Amino acid sequence: MDQKVYIFDTTLRDGEQSPGASLTGAEKLEIARQLARMNVDVIEAGFPSSSPGDFEAVREIARNVKGPVITALARAVKADIDAVWEAVREAEKHRIHIVLGSSDIHAKHKFGRSRGELLEMGVEAVRYAKSLCPEVEYSTEDASRSDKDYLCQVVEAVIDAGATVVNIPDTVGWAMPAQWGRLISYIRRNVRNIDKAILSVHCHNDMGLATANSLASVKAGAQQVECTVNAIGERAGNASLEEVVMALKARKDYFGASCGVVTSELSRTSRLVSRMTGLAVARNKAVVGANAFAHSSGIHQDGVLKNRDNYEIFRPEDVGAAGTEIVLTARSGRHAVRHRLEELGYNVSKQDLEKLHERFLALADAKKQVFDDDLHALMADARGSSTQAYSLEGMRIISGTATIPSATICLSNGAGSVEKCGTGDGPVDACFRAIDEITQIPVKLLEYRLNAATAEKGALGEAQVVLESNGKTASGHGASTDVIEASVRAYVNAINRLVM
């Protein structure tokens, strides 16, 4: 009988900690619903004590998302545990997740406490959490740099105190796969009561080994893997959910384990998370990258045409990367557009479809054929513009080799329209300066990225910007066949997120 591996998704907590990847409560709820559709076992919805906004986002997910266990993170202090419980208590299935360091490095430099004091602190936190919630997870932060016998002592003590899941994190991506597998085996052999809890791992990707370490732990007997969509997270990120899941599926013969994730939802989930966080997925990203099933070499093309098994270890349709394509042009009506959007996983109201169809027709006139990636870009742009303090009404650009680039931008702000001019090093810089004159918000441009949604000459341009103002960062998205307009839309979108 196959070993059951539980998939714990922390995209909305650890994943959101990626710089510039902050999400609104509505965006977190939409991603959580997609994670539930994908059938992950646990959703870590946030860190409620970090802010009132995150508390409310976690509570909305708990109230509205059915199926997975809903959990959130707490430090080993009563106030944090109370915040988690209040946020998740209305969930169909709930869990309190507590984290506390176990390495001497953390004991000395982070907490200024002894091993014994940290052990007592952890046990007390678990006992208190257990009095509120029947399901409690305890994470031994920085386990890979901890003394293994002390680590076993901690795990045994928190299980005795009521922990139902014990999580062993490679917090800084320090472990090597063989070493990590041996540690998991050591814990299983040396913790007296390990059979009374689920043994979990949480691996970071500082040396590019998060997925490898997670899979090594499964081979060694770990029963839960904590991971994120597109591998996003602190620093270099976390174990990639899609890679872990597909490795278990494709190499079931090796692992003797399986999970319940609906793999045909992987690509859709990847795109949703990428567009909402503003973090692009590399074209060569395993499983969900644009090139994951692309064959360029003539030898490979010949082999795939003869038999896909020659060069594909799993099918595009297994991860939701293929399906019936409707060729959309300016002659396509609203019904055809809605049909393809629904196939791509979007639910569009009649009112929103009217607005979207106008942009679709303008795009189709400009580039003749509209592809799936164009539709994703249009939807991302429409989503970013749905709730806004400012909206673009018009723009005029003057630029050339013998003139100083200038831009006149007109924005509406609810009270009326405001028009300002700006000059800069180039037309995009001039536009951004004009917008700053209108909003009077002091911002710093941290990142600006421009991509083509598709490969042909008339491609829809997608712009992504990340802005910072008074310590807060926000990403913005814009799409247009005019790359300057796309850049302006992205900048205004980011401004709107900063003032929300």
CA distance 42 to 50: 20
Per the structure block, which two tokens stand in for 121?
């602190």
CA distance 375 to 472: 30
Please, what is the angle between helix 115-132 and helix 148-161, to 10°? 30
Please, where in the chain does CATH 3.20.20.70 lie?
A: 3-277
- Top-tier CATH class for 391-499: alpha beta
Of 137, 127, 126, give the one whose Cα is nearest residue 169: 137
Tell me whether residue 111 is exposed, middle or buried, using C-beta atoms within 10 angstroms of its C-beta: 0 to 12, 13 to 18, 19 or more.
middle
**In contact, 469 and 450? CB cutoff 8 Å:** no
Of 155, 156, 158, give the one whose Cα is nearest residue 169: 155
Q: What is the dihedral of CA 317, 319, 321, 325, to 10 degrees?
A: 50
Tell me the one-letter amino acid at 287: V
Note down pLDDT in tens along the chain; length 500 residues.
Answer: 689 999 999 999 999 988 778 899 999 999 999 999 999 999 999 999 999 999 999 999 999 999 999 999 999 999 999 999 999 999 999 999 999 999 999 999 999 999 999 999 999 999 999 999 999 999 999 999 999 999 999 999 999 999 999 999 999 999 999 999 999 999 999 999 999 999 999 999 999 999 999 999 999 999 999 999 999 999 999 999 999 999 999 999 999 999 999 999 999 999 999 999 999 999 899 999 877 776 544 455 456 557 778 878 888 899 998 633 344 667 777 777 787 788 778 888 887 788 888 877 877 777 666 777 777 777 766 665 555 788 899 999 999 988 999 999 999 987 889 999 999 999 999 999 999 999 999 999 999 999 886 666 667 788 999 999 998 898 888 888 889 999 999 999 899 888 87
pLDDT at 302: 57
**In contact, 411 and 385? CB cutoff 8 Å:** no
pLDDT at 457: 62
Beta strand pairing call for 472-480 and 461-469: antiparallel
Please, what is the angle between helix 372-384 and helix 334-343, to 10°? 90
Beta strand pairing call for 461-469 and 417-423: unpaired
**In contact, 256 and 2? CB cutoff 8 Å:** yes
pLDDT at 328: 65
Domain 3-277 matching CATH 3.60.15.10: the answer reads: no
Tell me whether residue 341 is exposed, middle or buried, using C-beta atoms within 10 angstroms of its C-beta: 0 to 12, 13 to 18, 19 or more.
buried
Strand partners, 469: 472
At a CB cut-off of 8 Å and minimum separation 6, what does 333 contact? none
Please, where in the chain does CATH 3.30.160.270 lie?
A: 391-499
pLDDT at 455: 63
Angle, alpha carbons 335-463-416 (nearest 5°):
80
